[in-house]
Structure 1
Amino acid sequence: MSKTNPFPNLMRAFFYEWLVEQRNASIHTVRSYRDTWRLFLRFVAQRAEKKVAMITLTDLTASEVAAFLRHTEHERGGTIGTRNCRLAAIRSFFNFVATREPASIAQCVEILNIPVKRAPISEPCYMEPAEVAAILAQPDRSTVEGLRDHALLSFLYNSGARIQEALDLCPEMIRFDSPGCVRLTGKGRKERICPLWPETVMLLKKLLERKPRAPNQRLFMNRYGEPLSASGVRFKLAGYVKAAAGIEPSLHNKHVTPHSFRHATAVHLVSAGVDVTVIRSWLGHVSLDTTNHYAKANLETKRKALEQVSPLATAVHPPSWKRDASLLAWLDTL
C-alpha cells in the first residue's frame, strides 16, 4: 500500500519520527496536531465522498486546506487564532513531506504559502479585585469538591498560571515551607518559579489533608479519581461566575474563563507598580511585548499617569510666537 499511497506512512513518520523523536515535542503539541488532522481528514473525506482510509496525498491540495480553514472559522465558529493553529499543524506536516517526497514539493509549496490570518488585537478582559473575590467566595469549602475548586481558583490568581500548568500541579512541585513557591512548566517546557501567598499554601495543604496525593500525582482530581480537565474547570467556573454576578453585577458583561485569572494577575501586578520584567518572568512570557500589553489594558495605571501631567491651561507665559506682534517677524528669527 505504501507504493501506491505513501500518505499513511508519511503521517506515521511525521508523528513518531519527526515530532516525538527528532523534535521532542510536548504531549500537548502532539495532541493539538492530532486533533487538527482528525478534523482535516474527516473534512476532506466528506467532500470527496470517500473513507478516510482511502485518502491519498494528492487529495490534500492547497484549495482543500483553504476550504478547511474557512470551515473552521465560519462554520465551526472557531476564532482566527484557532484557524491559525490548525494551519500551523498542517504546514508542519507538509514541510516534513517536502523532505521525504521530492515529487510533491510543488504541492507542499502551495500549502506552505497559505498565509497566517491577522486578527484584531483586543485588550484582554480582566477582572477587578472585587470581582475575583466574589468568585472565590462561591465554592463551598466544607466539601472536598468546593475546597478543591477554591484552592484551584486561588492558585490560578496567585500564580498567574495557565490552566494546564495548574492542572499538571503535583505536590513535589510545591515548596510548603516559608517562603512558599511553586515550580511551573510552561510553553516550550520552560520552567519558572512563582511565589505563593501563605493563604494559598494553606489551602493546598488543607486539600492534601482531605485528599492525600503521592509526590508525583496530580493535585486536582475529579470525583472519579481522574485528573481534572480544562473543560471541567470551565464548566464549574461558569456556575461560580453566575452566582458571583449577584454580588458584582459587572460580571454579567464579562466572559470569564480560567485564563481570565491570569489576565487579572498581570493587570493587578502592573497596577501595584511591579516592574514589567518581573511580571514577564512571573507569567513566563517569551517577549516583553506580551507583558506590555497588560500595562496598556490597565485603566487605573493610565489615570495615574494622566494625573502626573500638568494641563496645558496652567501655563503662565504665552508661547513666544503669541508674544511677537508680527508672526512673520517671529518666523524670521528661526
Structure 2
Amino acid sequence: MNALAAELQTYFSVFARSQRDLSEHTICAYRDTWRMLIMFLAARTGTRTEHIDFNHIDSDNVASFLTYLEHERGNTVSTRNARLCAIRAVLAHAMPGHLEHAETISRVLAIPPKRHPKPMLEYLSTEESDVLIAAPNRAGWTGRRDHALLVLAIQTGLRISELCSLTCNDIHLGTGAAVTCTGKGRRKRATPLTSTTATVMTAYLRERATRPGDALFCGPHGKQLSRDALEHRLQAHVATAAASCTSLADKHVTMHTLRHTAAMNLLAEGVDISVIALWLGHQRTQSTDAYLHADMTVKQAAIDRTRPPNTQPGRYRPEPGILAWLAAL
C-alpha cells in the first residue's frame, strides 16, 4: 500500500468520522470525488490505479481533472468547486505527515474555486403553490402522503435531506405545533407549523400510524423515501398541475424550489431577513440575501421611499404630446 492509499484510508476511516464528524452525505461525496480522480489519473498517466500516489496529484493533473468534469462529464461550476473542495480537504490533512510532498500539495491547495454567475432563484407564486398542493390524487395512500409532504415542504422550507430523514416523532402537534430536524452542520432547529399544516399533518399521522416503520414520509415497506424518489414524485405532480396552471410548465421545479417558495412567502409577509435565515437553518444571513434580490416588491418599496418630497406616488407617465413637451423645455 502506497502513501496516498494509506492516507485515504486514515482520512475516511478515522479523521472524517471520529474527528471531523462529517455527515454520511459529505463523506460519500468526498469518496466519489477521489474515486473519479484516481481513475482519471490512471487513464491520463497510464498508471495502474493502485499505483497512483502523491507525485501524481500535482496542480496540472488536478486542473485537467476539473476541466474534464466540466467539459466531458457536463458538471456545473458548483459541482466542479465541490469536487475541488473534496480534494483539498484530504490533501490539507495529509500535508503535515508528508512534508516531502509539501510543495506539490501546496500548489493544489492554491487552486482557487471558479467564479460563475449565480442565476436568479426560482420560486412558486401563491396560485402555483395551491395548484401543486392540490395535484396529488388523494383517493389513495400515496396521494395523501404526497399531499402532506408538499404542504409541509412549502410551509416550512425544509431541505430535501431534512424531509427524507424526518420521523413521526419529529412532528409535534397541539399547542406550539412544530417540526424538528437536524440540518447542515449538525444544527438542530424547530420550525413552527401553521394551523392549516398542523391539520393536514394530524390527519396524515393518524393514517401513517397503521403502517410499519417510523419514517414520516415512507415507501411501501415503511422505509424513508430517497432524494431521487421525492424528486420523481414532485415532477409527476408538477406535470399534473401544469395542465391547469400553464406558468408551471415554464419553470424548473425541484424540491429546493419549494424551499425558496417558503422563504419568499415569509419575505412577502414582511419577516426580517435574519429571522428567515434562522427559519431556513442558514449559518450566515448572507446566504439569505438572494431572496432580497429575487423579490421585486422589496426593490419597488425601496424606490418608493426615495422619491423626492411633494411628488405624487406612482410610476412616471410621459405627457401625451411629446413635441409640445419638448418645445416647452
The two structures have a TM-score, normalised by structure 1, of 0.87
Cα separation, 1, equivalents of 2:188 and 2:212? 18
**Which AA in structure 1 matches 2:161?**
Q
| Residue 80 (structure 2) aligns with | 83
Trace 1:214-253 onto structure 2 (pairs within 5 A): 217-253=214-250
**Which AA in structure 2 matches 1:211?**
R
SS in 1 for 2:12: helix
Trace 1:144-163 onto structure 2 (pairs within 5 A): 144-163=141-160
Among 273, 289, 293, the residue aligned to 2:270: 273
SS in 1 for 2:180: strand
Task: For residues 158-199 of structure 1, give each alpha carbon's deviation from its aligned partner in whole angstroms, at most 9, with x where no partner exists.
Answer: 111111011111122221122210112111011111101233
> Residue 69 of structure 2 contacts residue 80 of structure 2 at CA under 8 Å; is this kept in 1?
yes
Cα separation, 2, equivalents of 1:215 and 1:294? 39
Cα separation, 2, equivalents of 1:35 and 1:28? 11
SS in 1 for 2:87: helix
Cα separation, 1, equivalents of 2:60 and 2:261? 41
| Residue 187 (structure 1) aligns with | 184
Q: CA RMSD in A?
A: 2.2
> Residue 273 of structure 2 contacts residue 289 of structure 2 at CA under 8 Å; is this kept in 1?
yes
SS in 2 for 1:314: coil
**Which AA in structure 2 matches 1:144?**
W
1:117 aligns with 2:114: yes
| Residue 303 (structure 2) aligns with | 306
The two structures have a TM-score, normalised by structure 2, of 0.88
Aligned-pair distance for 1:214?
Answer: 9.5
1:107 aligns with 2:104: yes
Trace 1:59-78 onto structure 2 (pairs within 5 A): 59-78=56-75
Aligned-pair distance for 1:313?
Answer: 8.7
Query: Stretches of 4+ moved more than 6 A in 1?
Result: 213-216
> Residue 128 of structure 2 contacts residue 248 of structure 2 at CA under 8 Å; is this kept in 1?
yes
Among 21, 37, 51, the residue aligned to 1:40: 37
Aligned-pair distance for 1:20?
Answer: 0.9
| Residue 320 (structure 1) aligns with | none
| Residue 263 (structure 1) aligns with | 260
> Residue 214 of structure 2 contacts residue 222 of structure 2 at CA under 8 Å; is this kept in 1?
no
Cα separation, 2, equivalents of 1:216 and 1:294? 37
> Residue 172 of structure 1 contacts residue 215 of structure 1 at CA under 8 Å; is this kept in 2?
no
**Which AA in structure 2 matches 1:290?**
S
| Residue 332 (structure 1) aligns with | none
User: How many residues end up aligned between the 2 structures?
Assistant: 312
Aligned-pair distance for 1:216?
Answer: 8.5
1:13 aligns with 2:1: no
Among 125, 128, 131, the residue aligned to 2:125: 128
Aligned-pair distance for 1:120?
Answer: 1.1
SS in 1 for 2:189: strand
| Structure 1, unaligned runs of 5 or more | 316-334
> Residue 213 of structure 1 contacts residue 219 of structure 1 at CA under 8 Å; is this kept in 2?
no
Among 21, 25, 31, the residue aligned to 1:24: 21
Cα separation, 2, equivalents of 1:224 and 1:62? 48
| Residue 197 (structure 2) aligns with | 200
% identical equivalent positions: 35
**Which AA in structure 1 matches 2:284?**
S
| Residues 44, 155 of structure 1: alpha-carbon distance in 2 compared, 3 angstrom cutoff | same
Aligned-pair distance for 1:147?
Answer: 1.4
| Structure 2, unaligned runs of 5 or more | 313-329
| Residue 176 (structure 1) aligns with | 173
> Residue 171 of structure 1 contacts residue 215 of structure 1 at CA under 8 Å; is this kept in 2?
no
Which piece of structure 1 moves more, 255-264 or 49-58? 49-58
**Which AA in structure 2 matches 1:288?**
T
| Residue 322 (structure 1) aligns with | none
